[in-house]
Each structure stands twice: as structure tokens, then as C-alpha cells.
Amino acid sequence: MAMVLNEEAGMLKDAARGYLKASAPVSQLRKLRDSGSEDGFDRKTWADMAEMGWTGVLVPEAHGGVEMGHVAAGVIAEEMGRTLTASPYISTAIMGATALSRFGSDGQKSEWLPRIAAGEAITALAADEGRKHNPSRVAVSAERSGNGFKLNGRKTFVAEGHVADMLIVSARTAGSENEAEGITLFLVPRDAAGVTVERKDTVDSRHAADIVLDNVDVTADAVLGEVDNGLGALEAVLDAGRAGLSAEMSGSAQQCLDSTVGYLKERKQFGQIIGTFQALQHRAAHLYSEVELGKSIVLKALQTLDAAPDHAAMMVSAAKAKLGQVAQLAAREGVQMHGGMGMTDEFDIGFYMKRVRVAEALYGDANYHADKFARMRKY
């Protein structure tokens, strides 16, 4: 497959950039932070995204979406990474839509997918339980009770968990805490009895939540995919999210590079534009190269998700590992080359440094994915 965007995706990219620059730039995130917004995102912007079809980008047409695939979904995420637009897009439009359209029953699909596409429902994946990402480490229990299950335990660092209407929860129906077998995915409405959401402010001026499940009763219909055999589906949903986050980080890295190069062309010291200094030119040129490599591996991962979703894990891990490093390099170099200004809250570059730190950690950091890649390569 040619590694260029087709016309449709190219148009989507232009449209997304135009909208986000005008209506949801970094100043919006700054305002949300300063006003202490509990949502951590702008509801009007989210409604606009639904209007433009973004929330339905992975939802089949039969369920009200536009089903454009992961490359298109990534194009939008990348542009959001440029403007640091906060929204439940990755948790809902990418991961929620992937979970339901690939693994949902007919009933689950028709209940949730049209609402996701319309921007009326927000979903969040509640998978991790410890400080470091580890999807097969599941202690949250789901015991059979009547014709359903009873869920108990705590999930940590659930992105968009504080605003989700529905949680996708991994729980143990068999086996012991670190076993790959015995994990089952459940769809749990946030307003179910026994669900407590503990909102946390995160370093990127957004929010996440810990989710406490205390004797939460769900029916057998709440099971997503197969009982005891949910890890494969969980990984597929995670991979969609990881690729989306990689695309987001790619956009953030490019924006850091652009802003920094712009600053190098303006700032004067020693009577000269500092961009004439070779020491800085070489740092910027190296960063450019890394950002270009990042762009390529992200596109490769997204194309693989569209063409062969069951064989995309390796390329997705490569992308997440690479972008975790590239985006953080871009942010670090950006702050350094902005000098003292880079340390101020007034300049945007610091917002990028904070967001990519979160995006890098979410669903496996660069080390996690490098290790996973090596395991898949059998070393």
C-alpha cells in the first residue's frame, strides 16, 4: 500500500487542521485548566466533532457512522496532537468503537454504536490496576451470581473515566492475578449501583479516574466477547488506542518542532538570530529526522490496523515505542531551545511536554512496547 494519504484522508486532514486551529487551540486547554473544568474538555467542541463525523470514524455505516478506518482516525488524532485538543476522542471514537464493532453482540452494537457516532455516549477502558501498564494483571473479580456476575475491585488511571457513560472493564472470571487466561470484558454503565468514580487531575491539565467496583451486579448480556477469553479482545482495543495515541504524539512532536524552529528564527542573542548557530541547527535538524521517522512508523501501524487488524500488534508496539521517544525528545528539545521562555507557563511548549508524558505512559510506555516487540520477535 502506498505510504501517502489518499484524497479522502488528505481532505479530512485539512478539514481537521482548519477546525482545530480555529476552534480548539491550546488556549482552549489553558482556559479549561484555569477555570477548573471538571470535564476537562469542551462539550461544544465534542458536539462539533460528532457533527463532522469524527466520533463515527470507526463506526460502521449501518450503525450511523462513517467507517473510514484507522488511517483516517489517526489523521484526526494527529491534528488533535498539534493543538492539544482535549476530548474523549481516543477513549470513545477509537477504543470504544473498536471494542463494540469488533467484539460486541448485535444487541450491544445497536445499543452503543449509534450513540458513540452521534457523540451522545462517552466510553472509557478500565484495564490497569497498578502503576505500570499490564493488561494481563487483573485482580478485579467477576463472580458468577444468578444469571449474571458480581464485580469487585479497583481500576486505576482510567482515561476519561470521570466523564464516561459506559466503562469497558476487564475482570477475572477464572485463574490467578497474572494469568492470561480467565479474563473477561464487561460493559458497565457508569450509573450502575456500586460504581464509584474518583476523579484525578493529571499533569497534562486533563483528568483521569480511579474506578471502584463494590458488588456491582451485571447481567450475562454485559459480557463483551467471550467469557474467560477476553485478553485478545482487550489487546485489540488497546492496540487501536495505542496507534491513536502514537498518531497524537506524532502531531505533538511536529508542532513542538515547528514552534521551536519558529522561535529559533525570531530570537536574537549576541546580536544574531539564534537560528544561525550551528549547535542549534544540528539539534533541530536531528529532531526533524526523528519526527519524520515517527510519522512513517505511525502511518505503517495505522495502515496495518486497516489491512490486517489481527497482525498489527508488532507494528503498533513499534509505533508506540518510537513515538513515545520521539515526542518526548521533541518536547525536551523544544523547552531547551526556547530557553527561559520554555520554562514559563505563558509559552505553550510546556503544555506539550506534559501531554506527551501522559500519552507516552498510557497503554504502555516506550519501554513496555520495546519489550513487547522483543518478545514478539522471540528474544
Partner 1 sequence: MADLDAFRADVRDWLEANCPEEMRQPIQDEEDVVWGGRTFNFTEPQKLWLDRMAGKGWTVPEWPVEYGGGGLDKAHAKVLREEMRKIGARAPVQSFGIWMLGPALLKYGTHEQKLEHLPKIARGEIRWAQGYSEPNAGSDLAALMTKCEDKGDHYLVNGQKIWTSYADKADWIFVLVRTDFQAPKHEGISFILVDMDQPGVTTKPIKLISGKSPFCETFFDDARAEKHNLVGELNKGWTVAKYLLTHEREMIGGMGSGAMRPMGDVAVQQVGLNEHGMLADPILRADVVRAEIDGLAFMSTMERVADEAKAGQGTGANSSMLKYYGTELNKRRMELMMDSAGSSGLEWDADEDVARMWLRSKGNSIEGGTSEVQLNIIAKRILELPSA
What is the spatial distance between Cα 289 and Cα 263, in angstroms, rounded to a whole number? Answer: 19
Candidate residues 21, 268, 286, 311; the one interacting with partner 1 per rule CB under 8 A: 286
Q: Is residue 42 within 8 Å of 62, Cβ to Cβ? A: no
Q: Is 377 near partner 1 (CB under 8 A)?
A: yes
Chain positions 19 to 38 lying near partner 1, rule: CB under 8 A, are: none
- How far the first Cα of the chain sits from its last, in Å, is 29
Helix (H, G, I), strand (E, B), or coil: what is residue 268? strand
**Cell numbers given for 348:** 505553550
Chain positions 150 to 189 lying near partner 1, rule: CB under 8 A, are: none
Complex with partner 1: residue 316 or 362, whichever CB lies closer: 316
In the bound complex, what is the minimum distance in angstroms from residue 75's beta carbon to partner 1? 15
In the bound complex, what is the minimum distance in angstroms from residue 80's beta carbon to partner 1? 22
What is the spatial distance between Cα 248 and Cα 132, in angstroms, rounded to a whole number? Answer: 21
Complex with partner 1: residue 284 or 358, whichever CB lies closer: 284
Q: Nearest 5°: phi and psi at 312?
A: -100, -10
Candidate residues 48, 67, 111, 371; the one interacting with partner 1 per rule CB under 8 A: 371
Chain positions 265 to 284 lying near partner 1, rule: CB under 8 A, are: 265, 272-273, 275-278, 281-282, 284
**Cell numbers given for 7:** 484524497
Complex with partner 1: residue 224 or 316, whichever CB lies closer: 316
Q: Is residue 105 within 8 Å of 223, Cβ to Cβ? A: no
Half-sphere exposure of 322 (CA within 13 A, CB side): 23
Half-sphere exposure of 166 (CA within 13 A, CB side): 24
In the bound complex, what is the minimum distance in angstroms from residue 260's beta carbon to partner 1? 10
In sign, the C-alpha dihedral spanning 295, 296, 298, 302 is positive
Q: Is 17 near partner 1 (CB under 8 A)?
A: no
Complex with partner 1: residue 240 or 261, whichever CB lies closer: 261
Count of residues in contact with partner 1, rule CB under 8 A: 39
In the bound complex, what is the minimum distance in angstroms from residue 213's beta carbon to partner 1? 33
In the bound complex, what is the minimum distance in angstroms from residue 21's beta carbon to partner 1? 21
Q: Is residue 125 within 8 Å of 241, Cβ to Cβ? A: yes
In the bound complex, what is the minimum distance in angstroms from residue 127's beta carbon to partner 1? 24
Candidate residues 34, 271, 345, 379; the one interacting with partner 1 per rule CB under 8 A: 379
In the bound complex, what is the minimum distance in angstroms from residue 58's beta carbon to partner 1? 23
Chain positions 292 to 331 lying near partner 1, rule: CB under 8 A, are: 292-297, 299-300, 315, 318, 321-322
Q: Nearest 5°: phi and psi at 146?
A: 60, -130
What is the spatial distance between Cα 315 and Cα 303, in angstroms, rounded to a whole number? Answer: 10
Helix (H, G, I), strand (E, B), or coil: what is residue 67? coil
**Residues of this chain that bind partner 1 (CB under 8 A):** 2-4, 261, 264-265, 272-273, 275-278, 281-282, 284-286, 288-289, 292-297, 299-300, 315, 318, 321-322, 370-371, 373-375, 377-379
